Amino acid sequence: MSTQREEDAPAAERAEPERTAAGTLERYVGNTIRDLRRANGLTIADIAERAEISRGMLSRIENGQTASSLEGLSRIARALGVSLSTLFRNFEVDDGGAQLVKKGQGMEVARRGTRSGHTYHLLAYDQGPSKLFEPFLITIEEPSETFPVFEHPGTEFIYMLEGKMEYRHGSSSYRLEPGDALTFNGEVPHGPGELTECPIRFITVIIYPTGGAKE
């Protein structure tokens, strides 16, 4: 007798999460149906008649007290004027973990070039032991006689927002104006050349090779 209970226990334990998940889905679908119905100013009677189901059944579905077949849900969706997939669209969707940095709230950091009048505002804060990318808003308020040269692993992307400057990359020089974009290999020496119109503001994104840049 005890052996049989021990054999049955794992199956019961495995079934419990399935019942919980099913109940959660029923509640989600029911809430979605109710919200769509109310948003369209329809009554339970309106949808029940159009979907050819009883009012009591629709009420129980909306309250998550019972499940409906896919055919039944399909009729309800048509009665609501939406696709069947709409009833499940946001079920168990991940939060996403997006990171928002509001205007003017990027962290000011010190990097090479800071002493030459460059202001760096970090626009995203990568987590973990290595960085995959670094986006900066860089501002140069006044022309400087000292132009730092940078070298780093990965690829760099620059997008000009304001001002005009010559930007050096290796033996080449590029004139950058608002709306211009420049992409290049970060391992080749690079940096601002002639600053022809200040203030200068540009976004630069450094994309590091696989493995990222170590802290």
Residue 2 has pLDDT above 80, yes or no: no
Domain spans of the chain, in order of start: 2-87, 107-214
Tell me the residue type at 9: A
The winner for highest mean pLDDT among 11-15, 77-81, 177-181 is: 177-181
pLDDT of residue 142: 82
Q: Under a CB-based contact definition with an 8 Å cutoff, are residues 161 and 123 in contact?
A: no
Tell me, yes or no, if the two domains 2-87 and 107-214 fold the same way. no
Residue 13 has pLDDT above 60, yes or no: no
* pLDDT bracket for residue 116 (50, 70, 90): low
Residue 23 has pLDDT above 80, yes or no: no
* pLDDT bracket for residue 172 (50, 70, 90): very high
> In a 3-state reduction of DSSP, which class is residue 210?
coil
**CATH 1.10.760.10 holds for 107-214:** no
- The angle at the Cα of 126, spanning 120 to 127, to the nearest 5 degrees, equals 140
Q: Domain 2-87 in CATH: superfamily?
A: lambda repressor-like DNA-binding domains (1.10.260.40)
Stretch 158-166: mean pLDDT, rounded?
A: 96
- In angstroms, the CA 71 to CA 129 distance is 50
Residue 188 has pLDDT above 60, yes or no: yes
